[in-house]
Amino acid sequence: AVDPALKATSTTCPYCGVGCGVLATPDGSGGAAISGDPSHPANLGRLCSKGSALGETLGLEDRLLYPMIRCSSGAMEQIAWSDALDHVAHRFAHIVARDGPGAVAFYLSGQLLTEDYYVANKLMKGFIGSANVDTNSRLCMASSVAGHRRAFGADTVPGLYEDLDQADLLILVGSNAAWCHPVLYQRMIANKQRRGARMVVIDPRKTDTSEDADLFLGVKPGSDTALFSGLLVYLADNELIDRDYIARYTAGFDEALVRARAIAGSVAATALATGLSEQDVAAFFQMFAATPRVVTLYSQGVNQSAQGTDKVNAILNCHLATGRIGKIGASPFSLTGQPNAMGGREVGGLANQLAAHMNFTPPDIDRVRRFWKAPRIATHEGLKAVQMFEAIGRGEIKALWVMGTNPAVSLPDADAARDALKKLELLVISENVLSNDTVGAGAHVLLPALAWGEKSGTVTNSERRISRQRAFLAAPGEARPDWWIIGEVAKRLGFGAAFDYKSAAAIFREHAALSSFENNGSRDFDIGALSSVSDEGFDGMSPILWPFRFGDIEPSERFFSGGDFFTNDRKGRFVAPERPVLRTETHEGRPLRLNTGRIRDQWHTMTRTGMSPRLGAHLPEPFIEVHPDDAARYGLADGSFARVTTDHGQCTLRVVVSPRQQRGMLFAPIHWSEANSSSARVGSLVAPFTDPFSGQPEAKATPASIAPY
Ligand code: SF4
């Protein structure tokens, strides 16, 4: 029973990008009672299975509680904080002096708070002098970032969660929102039930989301661009576009239409390119055309592709052509995977951005340099995640600091990533847990970071709403905030004056001030109005949308219904996509395509959700889903084991025979690893092909073979 004297703390869920508000009431012995926060606009009190089980995941089992260092015997031994920090700073300084700043890198996480991200970026990009700072958001959202920047001039989401309540047509592309964004999905279903909104689901695989669809389009993998190119042509040929909006507020329509016509110039051509029936294609086109209030939601099936950015822009093209953007119930909408992928992007968490959405252009570099008083600011983009680990494998990067993520499991070609880690002269890991596959890949220094419930700062969810994550538990052992750990290393590198932070609030104020520094109206991403927030104001900060338009003291809600894009000429851009082609063909030896994704009740590599027996009961073991015809063809019985092989690795997985799976396709969940299951590191199967604009890897269509085990 919870002591009524212990008050509830308002915080946010650490899992998906919905960013639900949570009330956590500590029980006085390290646990807490969890409920949804009815006052948080993201969830209005609702929680999904993962969020409501948070109280079951608060123990200290397998927790990293003290700094540790690998000693000469090879064992990890406890060490004092000051010695650990001295060692990390000394080794980084030595390698930078010997090999230059390009020989070191940070790999961050969408689990970090915005303040942690800000300090890590500042140290690496402003003071060490390298932009080799990337994040696991590269695996999650980078194609949406690049698509938004190409179309809107900046990485932003034009709509709000409210639009899901107000749309008459909801189109989900590459999204199993019923499992991966459940609370938002509940809002969509409530809209269907209350207002009669219709739902189209576009996915090679039938899912719990497609069960509720009015129209399910089981497209061929990689063909989303063809579907939306065909839609653009249909809208144009039938005079169903908004010519006034196109003329006044956009550029590039004619070129994009020519390219779309070459890709899918008719309903029949679209059907051929996507593997759909002409009847279904026509039904979809007619629904879109006839429904002004339409929200198109896209997630990992779109983003995790070697042509993911073009897929995003093919979708955005259709919304721009109809002017259905930034209006009530009408917008494209990127569903963010992680709790703070958006916050990390805001402070430059990607290797190709600076901070506050500034880029590697001479004026932005100079502005950030002067604001930070940075002695050695990076002047060009760094290596994106997959390329960063390839550079590690080639021995070009000698020191890596991993914070709050498990790349030995989550990266594509994960065996190669794990082997690359073993080549490092210095692998520093800031973590909550004592054992995971990345730690096991040969960490030299382990630094105990505060976990959810212990740390304090801000996160930003899929609708651009900044919320506070607040501590409600005491820090265990010697665990410290990530921003403190990074700052202490920075001080030891000689940059003390710039990293003398006393609180997350101080870092947030600096981030907000940088966003408005010397802004004469040329930059829209400005939260300077928050740069004077007091410590008390930060403590009590309510969820707030951002960015504010330049000069505004209130945040803007929706964007672009009246143009005014974040481009130099204030016009939105149609983008002519490349013809959709998967990077590798299947062949006799690899006749199937492997798709990977999440399951309902687990999160990433299960370090937290794996602690809950209730969550574990949903789907308790790793599996490979196979269509019945393929199961018969390859001699696989439901419940048996199969060996799945790609050009990159092998896994042994339990067979689930399911008609939900498309013929010729396999599906495996991403969550298991060597730390929790010996042979199901599915990332080891995934090809490391990346999108040329976003650097995001393809995780949905690796050629594979399967055989009984
Ligand atoms: Fe947490 Fe996402 Fe579930 Fe909300 S929907 S409770 S943010 S996992």
Residue 182 sits in a domain whose CATH number is 3.40.228.10
Strand order in the sheet with 331-334: 215-217, 198-202, 169-173, 294-298, 331-334
State pLDDT tens for residues 62-88.
999 999 999 999 999 999 999 999 999
Confirm whether 570 is domain-assigned.
no
Q: Which residues contact 239 (CB under 8 A, 6 or more apart)?
A: none
Positive or negative torsion for Cα 56, 62, 68, 69: negative
76-84 long-range contacts, CB within 8 A, separation 24+: 76/443, 76/446, 81/478, 81/480, 81/488, 84/445, 84/447
Give the pLDDT score at 340. 86
**Per-residue pLDDT at 89 exceeds 70:** yes
**Per-residue pLDDT at 173 exceeds 80:** yes
Token pair of 394 as six digits: 């080639």
Residues 316, 324: Cα–Cα separation, whole Å: 10
Give the pLDDT score at 178. 97
Hey, whose CA ends up nearest to atom 6 of ligand 1?
51
Q: DSSP readout, 662-708?
A: PTTEEEEES---TTT-TT--GGGGS---B-TTT-PBP-S-EEEEEEE
| Substitution site in 40, 43, 338 for ligand 1 pocket (most atoms within 8 Å of beta carbon) | 43
Rg of the chain (C-alpha set): 24
Token pair of 271 as six digits: 């059907």
Closest by CA to 623, choosing from 608, 640, 605, is 640
Q: DSSP readout, 280-343?
A: HHHHHHHHHHH-SSEEEEE-HHHHSSTTHHHHHHHHHHHHHHHT-SSBTTBEEEE--SSTTHHH
Confirm whether 700 is domain-assigned.
no
Give the pLDDT score at 553. 67
State pLDDT tens for residues 372-392.
999 999 999 999 999 999 999
Hey, whose CA ends up nearest to atom 2 of ligand 1?
16
Residues 158 and 133 grouped into a single domain: no
The whole-model pTM stands at: 0.96
Hey, whose CA ends up nearest to atom 3 of ligand 1?
48
**Per-residue pLDDT at 508 exceeds 70:** yes
Residues 279 and 362 grouped into a single domain: no
Q: In which domain, by residue range, is 259 found?
A: 149-335
**Cβ(408) – ligand 1 distance below 6 Å:** no
- DSSP 8-state class, residue 74: S
Give the pLDDT score at 5. 60
CA 218 to ligand 1 center in whole angstroms: 27
Helix or strand holding residue 183 (H, E): helix 182-195
Hey, whose CA ends up nearest to atom 4 of ligand 1?
20
Higher pLDDT, 156 or 242: 242
Residues 467 and 351 grouped into a single domain: yes
Residues 681, 606: Cα–Cα separation, whole Å: 12
Higher pLDDT, 337 or 593: 593
- pLDDT cut 70: percent of the chain above it: 98
Residues 154 and 96 grouped into a single domain: no
β-bridge pairing 169-173 and 294-298: parallel
**Per-residue pLDDT at 554 exceeds 80:** no
CA 621 to ligand 1 center in whole angstroms: 22
Distances in whole angstroms, Cα of residue 601 to Cα of each of 88, 563, 672: 37, 40, 13
Amino acid found at 694: S
Give the pLDDT score at 343. 81
CA 17 to ligand 1 center in whole angstroms: 7
State CA 528 to chain mean position distance.
Answer: 26
Confidence of residue 259 (pLDDT cuts 50, 70, 90): very high
**Mean pLDDT of the residues in the chain:** 94
Q: Which atom of ligand 1 sits closest to the CA of residue 49?
A: 3
CA 544 to ligand 1 center in whole angstroms: 18
Residues 353 and 408 grouped into a single domain: yes
Confidence of residue 2 (pLDDT cuts 50, 70, 90): very low
CA 179 to ligand 1 center in whole angstroms: 10
State pLDDT tens for residues 118-162.
999 999 999 999 999 999 999 999 999 999 999 999 898 999 999
Residues 364 and 296 grouped into a single domain: no
Residues 479, 484: Cα–Cα separation, whole Å: 10
Residues 96 and 166 grouped into a single domain: no
Confirm whether 561 is domain-assigned.
no
State CA 188 to chain mean position distance.
Answer: 21
**Per-residue pLDDT at 4 exceeds 60:** no
**Cβ(47) – ligand 1 distance below 6 Å:** yes
Residue 611 sits in a domain whose CATH number is 2.40.40.20
Q: Which atom of ligand 1 sits closest to the CA of residue 42?
A: 4
Give the pLDDT score at 3. 54
Higher pLDDT, 391 or 676: 391
Residues 96/88, Cβ–Cβ less than 8 Å: no
Closest by CA to 210, choosing from 196, 197, 200, is 200
**Per-residue pLDDT at 96 exceeds 60:** yes
β-bridge pairing 623-626 and 665-669: antiparallel
CA 19 to ligand 1 center in whole angstroms: 6
| Substitution site in 22, 37, 40, 50 for ligand 1 pocket (most atoms within 8 Å of beta carbon) | 50
CA 46 to ligand 1 center in whole angstroms: 9
Cis check: omega of the bond before 476, within 30 degrees of 0: no
Give the pLDDT score at 675. 78
Confirm whether 88 is domain-assigned.
yes
Higher pLDDT, 189 or 673: 189
Give the pLDDT score at 677. 67
State pLDDT tens for residues 459-471.
999 999 999 999 9
Residues 436 and 459 grouped into a single domain: yes
Task: Give the mean pLDDT of 270-288.
Answer: 98
Confirm whether 63 is domain-assigned.
no
Residue 36 sits in a domain whose CATH number is 2.20.25
Residues 522, 555: Cα–Cα separation, whole Å: 17
**Cβ(53) – ligand 1 distance below 6 Å:** no
Residues 526 and 462 grouped into a single domain: yes
**Cβ(355) – ligand 1 distance below 6 Å:** no
**Cβ(15) – ligand 1 distance below 6 Å:** yes
User: Which residues make beta-bridge pairs with 655?
Assistant: 624
Q: Which atom of ligand 1 sits closest to the CA of residue 16?
A: 2
**Cβ(48) – ligand 1 distance below 6 Å:** yes
**Per-residue pLDDT at 532 exceeds 60:** yes
Residues 460 and 384 grouped into a single domain: yes
Q: Which parts of 571-647 fold into alpha helices (H)?
A: 613-616, 628-633
**Per-residue pLDDT at 549 exceeds 80:** no
| Substitution site in 12, 44, 47 for ligand 1 pocket (most atoms within 8 Å of beta carbon) | 47
Token pair of 16 as six digits: 């998906």
Residues 261, 280: Cα–Cα separation, whole Å: 19
Residues 607, 436: Cα–Cα separation, whole Å: 8
Residues 167, 58: Cα–Cα separation, whole Å: 38
**Cβ(20) – ligand 1 distance below 6 Å:** yes
Residues 43 and 92 grouped into a single domain: no
Confirm whether 122 is domain-assigned.
yes
Residues 344/112, Cβ–Cβ less than 8 Å: yes
Residues 135, 342: Cα–Cα separation, whole Å: 12
Confirm whether 582 is domain-assigned.
no
Confirm whether 573 is domain-assigned.
no
Residues 131 and 173 grouped into a single domain: no
Token pair of 231 as six digits: 């839609």
| Substitution site in 181, 463, 612 for ligand 1 pocket (most atoms within 8 Å of beta carbon) | 181
Residues 12, 457: Cα–Cα separation, whole Å: 11
**Cβ(667) – ligand 1 distance below 6 Å:** no
State whether residue 185 is helix, strand or coil. helix
State pLDDT tens for residues 324-373.
999 999 999 999 888 887 788 888 889 999 998 899 999 999 999 999 99
Residues 320, 253: Cα–Cα separation, whole Å: 9
Q: DSSP readout, 136-174?
A: GGGGTTHHHHHHHHHHHSSS-----THHHHH-SEEEEES
Confidence of residue 605 (pLDDT cuts 50, 70, 90): confident
- DSSP 8-state class, residue 127: I
**Cβ(326) – ligand 1 distance below 6 Å:** no
Residue 536 sits in a domain whose CATH number is 3.40.50.740
Residues 343, 483: Cα–Cα separation, whole Å: 14
**Cβ(600) – ligand 1 distance below 6 Å:** no
**Cβ(19) – ligand 1 distance below 6 Å:** yes
Which residues in 624-645 are b (16+ Cβ under 10 Å) and which e? bbbbeebbeebebeeeeebebb
State pLDDT tens for residues 284-334.
999 999 999 999 999 999 999 999 999 999 999 999 999 999 999 999 999
**Overall number of domains in the chain:** 4
Lowest mean pLDDT among 346-350, 508-512, 524-528, 618-622: 524-528
Give the pLDDT score at 1. 43
**Cβ(50) – ligand 1 distance below 6 Å:** yes
